[in-house]
Amino acid sequence: MITLSCPWCGPRNVTEFAYGGESGARPDPATATPQPWRRYLYTNANPAGPVTETWLHRAGCRRYLVVERDTTTNEILAIRRPGGAPSTSARHATTGRATEQRP
Amino acid sequence: MTAATTPGAATRLDPQPGEVIDRTDRFAFTWNGVEHHAYRGDTITSALAAAGVRVFSRSFKYSRPRGILTASYLDPGCTVQVDDEPNVRGSHRRIAPGQAVTAQNVWPSLDRDVKMANQAVGRFLTAGFYYKTFIKPQRLWPTYQRVLQRFAAGGTAPDTAPDRLRYDKRYAHPDVLVAGGGPAGMKAAVAAAKHGAKVLLVEEEHELGGHLRYGDTGDLDRLALLRAEVAASDVEVLTDAVVAGRYDGNLFAVVERSAPGLTERLTKVRAGVAIVAAGLIERPYVVEGNDLPGVLLSTAVRRLINLHAVKPGNRAVVLTANPQGDAAIADLQRAGVQVWAEDARAGGDIVRILGRGGVVGVEVGDGRKVPCDLVVTATGWTATTSLLNMAGDRPVYEPRIARFLPSQLPDDVLVTGGLAGDDDLDELLDHARAAGELAAERATEPGSVRGAALPVRPIVDACLPALPLHDHPAMFRGPTHGFVDFSEDVGSKDLAAAVAEGYDSSELAKRYTTATMGPSQGKLETVNAVAAVAEATGITIGQAGTTTWRPPYAPITLGALAGRNFEPVRVSPMQPWHEVHGAAPLVAGAWIRPDHYGDPAAEVRAVRDEVGIIDVTPIGKLDLQGPDVPNLLELLYVNKWQKLDVGRVRYGVMCAEDGVVLDDGVTGRLGPDHYLMSTTSSGAAGIWEWIENWLQTERPGWDVHVTPVTTAYASMNLAGPRSRDVLAPLTDVDLSADAFGYMHVRTGTIAAVEDCVLWRIGFTGELSYELHVPAGYGLHVWETLLAAGADHGIRAFGVEAQRTLRLEKGHLIVGQDTDGLTKAGSAGLGGLVKLDKPNFVGKPELVWQQEVGVTSTLVALQPVDPTEVPPEASQIVVAGRTVGRITSSRRSPTLGRGVCLGQVPPDLAAPGTHVTVRLPDGRDIVAVVQQHLAHVDPEGARLRG
Amino acid sequence: MAGAGRGHGNGATNGRSPRYSAWDLARRGLTGEAWPPAWRKHELRPSYDVVIIGGGVHGLATAHYLAANHGITDVAVLDKGYIGGGGSGRNTAILRSNYLTPEGIAFYDRSLELYRGLAADLNFNVMFSQRGHMTLAHNDASLRTMRWRAEVNKLVGVDSEVIDPDEVAKLVPRMDVSSEARYPILGALWHPPGGIIRHDAVVWGYARGADSRGVQIHQNTEVLGIDVVAGRVTGVQTSRGAVSAPIVVNCTAGWSSLISDMAGVEMPVHTFPLQAAVTEPVQPFLDPVVVSGTLHVYVSQTDRGELVFGASVDPFASYSTRGSLEFIEGLAGHVLQLMPSLHNLRLLRQWAGLCDMTPDYSPIMGPTPVEGFYVDVGWGTYGFKAGPVSGEQMAACIATGATPELIAPFALSRFAAGELVGEKGAAAVGH
């Protein structure tokens, strides 16, 4: 079980979090036509590698988080608050390597 | 002669220096109904072997007799039933007084097994034979199948649940987890602890020590010193426990098999760094007759002699290729066994092992036949790379030592001991010490965080010195074919045949023959299977590669995995009253609520005629505060909210972005910036998250505070023409129709309880008040209302009556009258959906739905025959094809007839249309589409009264 | 060779696999004569009429029916590993046809019909065991959904009915049907035609059938790119070189969106791991397949005596198939809620496969905007059940150039049109 480092609560088991799926850009609903709107609704990039997605710290602070994750290894590359700059990084290690991607 | 018991073939030896049996504690148990005796410390098979028992099971396919092979947990032929517990590892489990041990899967008995006939026809039962036969006639296949099922291996599952807690779980967060309590593991654990780490050391056997336990007196002296070091340290030690799996984030499953009072306990270990010191497993030699009772591994005879003081035979042939085999020879000789040694390093070999029910001799390399009752092989080792593999390792075959070595690991997993290489004990212990210190350093480094998924790196970068390797001859198969997988009855010949048939990779051959798929999980068999495939395909073992080791490394009981059931149940504060008053429970997700109190029809009539009260606490309730609440409501509901005055309540429906109906409920404005929203009971959790998602990620600038208050309030609905009369004397709120009209909200005191919220709404279609009172006073208010209503004929009603009432009134239930594809335009909402609003969630799809026209719509229906009540989900058919369905139906006590809601296509939606409903019993009935969704009081006069 | 061609006269000609029979099994048992390969190895040719990506049950069945039903034999099936190594070898081998929509039921019922005749058809015993399929209802909403399915099934002629807890207990004596259970059993959907099958055997049977008709199976041949010129497919790039082909079919699972991306075709697919586990064998006690949607678990017992468990897909998308501890913990807890007496059975092995989930729990089948590039993907957790019918219909689609009626509802274009398949109506019923 991986852990996610919540920017508010610190590292917690992934079972505390709810997965919200890939973050995709929503077309303007006022002007959207069916084709791009349904592409937004139904299509995922679904990459084998890094992806940006939304998670909710459901059993913790109840904040929505932006998570960058490698879908092949489940390595967490970065976690940040929605709209903000990266506030923490999970590229921590037990080896004492300097943690990267700190703000 | 039957070979199941050969009196005198093995006997108890005089006390041995390292024996683990307590000769002062002797007790009885039964084996297949016959009484035997054991010493405390005996395993099931050691006790029986001491009594001369040689055969412990019949094999899966050919029903061949099987005895002790490894004298360890892995022993494939020694799986037995102990009381009601199936599949007990007889060579590991210590026997307890009075236990009833029986052989598994033998009919009629271990001695005479009718399936033994299979041995005679074995030549036809080649790998995958069943794929090639029983094909025609197809009608006979089920019969063949019943015969095949007779061969199902394994014991008998109990048919009753345990009567007490027999399993548990716990968590552990050591800095360093050491898997394997042999000398290297002990040393690494002590070193890590000395370096300041919190250490958990896990050993699968019953004591620490690994191979030193069954070694010579020199080994025992070293073991005593190591044990003293562990005892003097702060290391937590678990024996008879196994690290069963490594998962992402360095999470380990540790199974404790002798936790006090329990059958099994699962310890979930989040380790900073894990040191894998799981050691080596002795590999069986593949040669004709290698499964006969009396063929043992060298480690097995050493265990039997030195740990359990059991003499395994009288005349032995030993094939040795390494010092462990040489030591076994010395042990055997000391135990008085005559030994014929074949030294593989000097060209010795075994051609075939002779015997039927047990070993009677061996044809050795030079063709001579040597009579014996015991064959011992010491032909090499299998590295227990499972945990490393689960951590991302891809073990690489090293021909020099004829075994696999780890190649790449993440930084939070280290490897030492026999897995890492060979050397004398002192050098091995130096390596283990270094591993322990490095692990402690990494795990206790400031800023290190557990649970990351770390990338793997080549093991040469692991900052540990490489251990030297001692050459070992590559011995997998002898000059003849033998068994590779003992539990699956798969031989090297089967694997060769599979390869010839095109199943020419390790994975395909494994699947085709089922080799390695049995209860020993391939630990004993995989490398021999890979070697057989490699040989048959003409490639090297290195090219053939190993298979993927999947968790668990060792089997885990379902009981331990499940642990205690912590699934919570939610009940309202009024539950004690419901229980006393005979409520039939309804399980609704996490909630248990009253379905009815014995007579739902009477409950309905009470509400229509007098007054009723229902506990609606599970309704989702969200307290919304802030100046932007109207914007939020406008965004999430399909209808308009900007002009909701203080004191007013409005019904709303929410859609998802695809236009599908998500939830409904009423929201009331309590103050200028203060609202109370209700949701469906099942939607309570989801809608809270839905709102927070929009606020946090899409509209972060909006000033709205959301507080879930579902269980902060006890909620009850007082409904019926006399509800006002019941409530008025108990509240300071003016209930007169002018002061508190339909779809209004008030706050006030009820039954002397302050801060209650009163909604005048009508899901039931009657004059009614939904009361939300502080939860701690819920029962008080409930009982006070019932007492006050006694003179008015008040009656508590449950969910069933409420559903009937709302159906009579034509109010939809989201998820019942709509489904996962029902857009708002099909939900019978009429003009509620305001497509002229500038924006709301789901609007684009709803606009397009209106443009192309709906394909289905919700209508009210009544069967022509008033006595018919088509069960919910009855299909509406045209020419035998389904075009719609009954979504809700009940017999209406008010109208004395069946009433329904249903989804129908637009061409059947016009009032007065006759539709055909196919009942589950196959009859067709006719129902008529109604003018209004409401069957009762469509004008709403009763509500507004 | 004496007798090799006896019986059906298509013996070991051209290295093809001879007909399997008890007689030949006995003869070879006596003479020790080896069986020739069930399928052959080939050099990769520079061009084929049809290239199928993915050597699982879907790809191999498509190849088999292209050759058997339409005489199209210049076909290559490419797999990056060994045949049946993906979803075909990782599923829990449950078959049923009691879906919700008439379209879904008709489609899966055709699959079940093909499965019933498959052993004879392929001359390969796939060990289909029609032991019945039971979906438990633990609340009135799911009981209503079971009724809905049963009623539509009956209209389409598929045997499904709602049974009460007493009948459940009769069919599965170890089931806890007491009202004290945390999620009491209120009833079940009982579907006698459902059952389990030996999944690997289906793969091998189709591989052997396709091979014997001239199809080439290429294992360890990874597709690295798909060539598209002016809106039509011209071939594929593989780890063993380039292959030209006017028709390329994506029959992969777990990797279907990545393969389609190579042709520039976007897929509404999201890939999730699906885990499963198996216990040690015990004597047979469980006949039907048992499914509980509320408890997210399904259970069956194999002829070998093992209990096979599955569940719903993992809680988050991933291409990792390593499996998790929390999965088997939850699984065991749910199994013991259903059958508390199984507490001392031991879980032996867990594994995971990849499922390409679509927004409406239905596959994506047929042509794509790239001419000559076909897809048979998005199989979620139900791909194995549909193997035969998918192969049959995809073969017809490719051979005739027209989309057969049975698969028309599953066209890629439905998403842009907003016409999702109604299986979503009863979402998350599963298996």
Q: pLDDT of B418-429, one tens digit each? A: 999 998 999 999
Mark yes or no for CB contact A15/C326 under 8 Å. yes
To the nearest whole Å, the CA of C80 is away from the closest chain A CA by: 16
Cβ pair B333, B312 in contact under 8 A: no
* Chain C CB within 8 Å of residue A85 CB: no
The strands making up B236-238's β-sheet, listed across from edge to edge, are B236-238, B199-202, B176-179, B273-276, B413-415
DSSP state for residue B131 in the 8-state scheme: G
Mark yes or no for CB contact C258/A35 under 8 Å. no
Mark yes or no for CB contact B697/A91 under 8 Å. no
**How far is residue C76's CA from residue B641's CA, in Å, rounded to a whole number?**
62
Q: Does A93 fall in a domain?
A: no
* Chain C CB within 8 Å of residue A48 CB: yes
Its ipTM equals 0.94
Q: Averaged over B718-734, what is the pLDDT?
A: 97
CB-nearest partner of B696 from A11, A64, A99: A64
C-alpha Rg value of chain A to the nearest Å? 15
Q: Percentage of chain B surpassing pLDDT 70? A: 97
> In B, which residues are within 8 Å of C136 by CB distance?
none
Kindly give the residue spans of alpha helices, DSSP state H, lying in B755-798: 778-789
Q: Does A53 fall in a domain?
A: yes
pLDDT, position C12: 42
> In B, which residues are within 8 Å of C83 by CB distance?
508
Three-class secondary structure of residue C188 per DSSP: strand
In this complex, the chains that touch C, judged by 3 or more CB pairs closer than 8 A, are: A, B
Cα end-to-end span (Å), chain B = 96
Cβ pair B147, B125 in contact under 8 A: no
Mark yes or no for CB contact C267/A41 under 8 Å. no
Mark yes or no for CB contact C422/B552 under 8 Å. no
In a mutational test of the B interface, the residue from A94, A99, A102 whose CB has the highest number of chain B CBs within 10 Å is A94
* Chain B CB within 8 Å of residue C36 CB: yes
Beta bridge partners of A93: none
pLDDT of C403 higher than 70: yes
Mark yes or no for CB contact B558/C345 under 8 Å. yes
Q: Does A57 fall in a domain?
A: yes
Exposure b/e, B301-325, CB count within 10 A at least 16 = b:
bbbbbbbbbbbbbbbbbbbbbbebb
* Chain A CB within 8 Å of residue B447 CB: yes
CB-nearest partner of A42 from C268, C318, C319: C268
To the nearest whole Å, the CA of C358 is away from the closest chain A CA by: 8
CA nearest to A54 within chain C: C316
pLDDT of B691 higher than 80: yes
**How far is residue B246's CA from residue B447's CA, in Å, rounded to a whole number?**
23
Beta bridge partners of C50: C75, C247
> In A, which residues are within 8 Å of B838 by CB distance?
30
**How far is residue B70's CA from residue B68's CA, in Å, rounded to a whole number?**
6
pLDDT of B205 higher than 90: yes
pLDDT, position B845: 96
Of B628, B646, B635, residue with least CA distance to B834: B635
Q: What angle do CA B537, B539, B543 make, to 5 degrees?
A: 125
Give the pLDDT band (50/70/90) at residue C29: confident
Cis peptide before C268 (omega within 30 of 0): no
Cβ pair B534, B503 in contact under 8 A: no
Q: Does A99 fall in a domain?
A: no
Exposure b/e, B865-882, CB count within 10 A at least 16 = b:
eeebbbebbbbbbeeeeb
Q: pLDDT of C317-335, one tens digit each? A: 999 999 999 999 999 999 9
Q: What is the bridge-based pairing of β-strands B315-320 and B374-378?
A: parallel
pLDDT, position B462: 65
Amino acid code (one letter) for A5: S
CB-nearest partner of A30 from B450, B700, B839: B839
Chain pair A-C, CB pairs under 8 angstroms: 58
**How far is residue A86's CA from residue A68's CA, in Å, rounded to a whole number?**
10
Q: What angle do CA B459, B465, B471 make, to 5 degrees?
A: 85
Q: Which of residues 61-120 of C touch B (CB under 8 A)?
A: 81-85, 89, 102, 116-117, 119-120
Give the pLDDT band (50/70/90) at residue B453: confident
* Chain C CB within 8 Å of residue A41 CB: yes
pLDDT of B186 higher than 70: yes
**How far is residue C399's CA from residue C393's CA, in Å, rounded to a whole number?**
10
Beta bridge partners of B902: B859, B886
pLDDT, position C399: 98
Which structure tokens are listed for C186? Answer: 């209120």
Mark yes or no for CB contact C324/A35 under 8 Å. no
The strands making up B79-82's β-sheet, listed across from edge to edge, are B34-40, B22-31, B100-103, B79-82, B85-89
Q: pLDDT of A17-53, one tens digit each? A: 999 999 888 999 999 999 999 999 999 899 999 999 9
* Chain B CB within 8 Å of residue C336 CB: yes
To the nearest whole Å, the CA of B482 is away from the closest chain C CA by: 16
Of B66, B16, B74, residue with least CA distance to B41: B16
Q: Domain spanning C130-193+271-355 has what CATH number?
A: 3.30.9.10
pLDDT of B558 higher than 50: yes
Q: Does A80 fall in a domain?
A: yes
pLDDT, position C23: 84
In this complex, the chains that touch A, judged by 3 or more CB pairs closer than 8 A, are: B, C
Which residues lie closer than 8 Å to B787 by C-beta, 6 or more apart?
none
**How far is residue B832's CA from residue C40's CA, in Å, rounded to a whole number?**
66
Lowest-confidence region among A94-98, B217-221, B688-692, C143-147: A94-98
> In A, which residues are within 8 Å of B844 by CB distance?
29, 32, 34, 37
Mapping DSSP onto H, E and C, the string for B114-129 reads HHHHHHHCHHHCCCCH
Mark yes or no for CB contact B451/A95 under 8 Å. no
pLDDT, position B121: 61
Query: What domains appear along chain B, each with residue ranges and CATH number?
Result: 22-115+284-378 (3.10.20.440), 168-280+384-461 (3.50.50.60), 476-560 (1.10.10), 600-806 (3.30.1360.120), 850-944 (2.40.30.110)
pLDDT, position B112: 62
pLDDT of B3 higher than 50: no
Average model confidence (pLDDT) for chain C? 93
In a mutational test of the A interface, the residue from B246, B454, B660 whose CB has the highest number of chain A CBs within 10 Å is B454
Give the pLDDT band (50/70/90) at residue A97: very low
CA nearest to A52 within chain C: C317
pLDDT, position B451: 76
**CA C138 → CA B815, C132, C144, C146, C363, distances in Å?**
16, 19, 11, 11, 28
> In C, which residues are within 8 Å of B508 by CB distance?
82-84
Q: Check if C50-93+199-269+360-426 and C130-193+271-355 are the same fold.
A: no
Give the pLDDT band (50/70/90) at residue B105: confident
pLDDT, position B849: 95
To the nearest whole Å, the CA of A43 is away from the closest chain B CA by: 13
To the nearest whole Å, the CA of C406 is away from the closest chain B CA by: 16
**How far is residue B62's CA from residue B483's CA, in Å, rounded to a whole number?**
12
Three-class secondary structure of residue C171 per DSSP: helix
Q: Does A61 fall in a domain?
A: yes
Cβ pair B359, B333 in contact under 8 A: no
**How far is residue A24's CA from residue B412's CA, in Å, rounded to a whole number?**
35
CB-nearest partner of A95 from B248, B411, B657: B411
Number of domains, chain A: 1
**CA C9 → CA C4, C125, C374, distances in Å?**
8, 20, 36
Q: Averaged over B349-366, what is the pLDDT?
A: 94
Cβ pair B594, B201 in contact under 8 A: no
CB-nearest partner of C281 from B154, B161, B881: B154
Domain ranges of chain C: 50-93+199-269+360-426, 130-193+271-355
Q: pLDDT of B461-512, one tens digit each? A: 667 888 999 999 999 999 999 999 999 999 999 999 999 999 999 999 999 9
Q: Domain spanning C50-93+199-269+360-426 has what CATH number?
A: 3.50.50.60
pLDDT of B786 higher than 80: yes
For C51, phi and psi rounded to 5 degrees? -110, 125
> In B, which residues are within 8 Å of C347 by CB distance?
552, 555-558, 561
Domain of residue A46: give its range: 3-88
**How far is residue B807's CA from residue B403's CA, in Å, rounded to a whole number?**
72
Amino acid code (one letter) for B355: G
pLDDT, position C235: 98
CB-nearest partner of A29 from B442, B689, B839: B839
In a mutational test of the A interface, the residue from C224, C256, C275, C318 whose CB has the highest number of chain A CBs within 10 Å is C318
Cβ pair B743, B940 in contact under 8 A: no
**CA B834 → CA B123, B345, B691, B825, C209, distances in Å?**
78, 89, 20, 11, 59
pLDDT, position B148: 74
Chain pair B-C, CB pairs under 8 angstroms: 285
Query: Residue C228: in which H helix or E strand, if any?
Result: strand C223-229
Left, alpha or beta for B443 (phi > 0: left; psi -120 to 50: alpha)?
Answer: alpha
CB-nearest partner of A42 from C319, C324, C359: C359
> In A, which residues are within 8 Å of C325 by CB distance?
1
Q: Does A9 fall in a domain?
A: yes
Q: Averaged over B335-363, what is the pLDDT?
A: 96
Mark yes or no for CB contact A74/C318 under 8 Å. yes
Look up the CATH number of the domain holding residue A64. 3.30.2270.10
pLDDT, position A89: 37
Q: Does A75 fall in a domain?
A: yes
To the nearest whole Å, the CA of B527 is away from the closest chain A CA by: 28
> In C, which residues are within 8 Å of B162 by CB distance?
340, 343
To the nearest whole Å, the CA of A36 is away from the closest chain C CA by: 8
Mark yes or no for CB contact A1/B657 under 8 Å. no
CB-nearest partner of C38 from B134, B502, B567: B502
pLDDT, position C13: 47
DSSP conformation letters of C243-294: EE-SEEEE--SSSHHHHHHHTT-----EEEEEEEEEE--------SEEEETT
To the nearest whole Å, the CA of A42 is away from the closest chain C CA by: 5
To the nearest whole Å, the CA of B843 is away from the closest chain A CA by: 8
State the residue for tokens 């099934």: C153
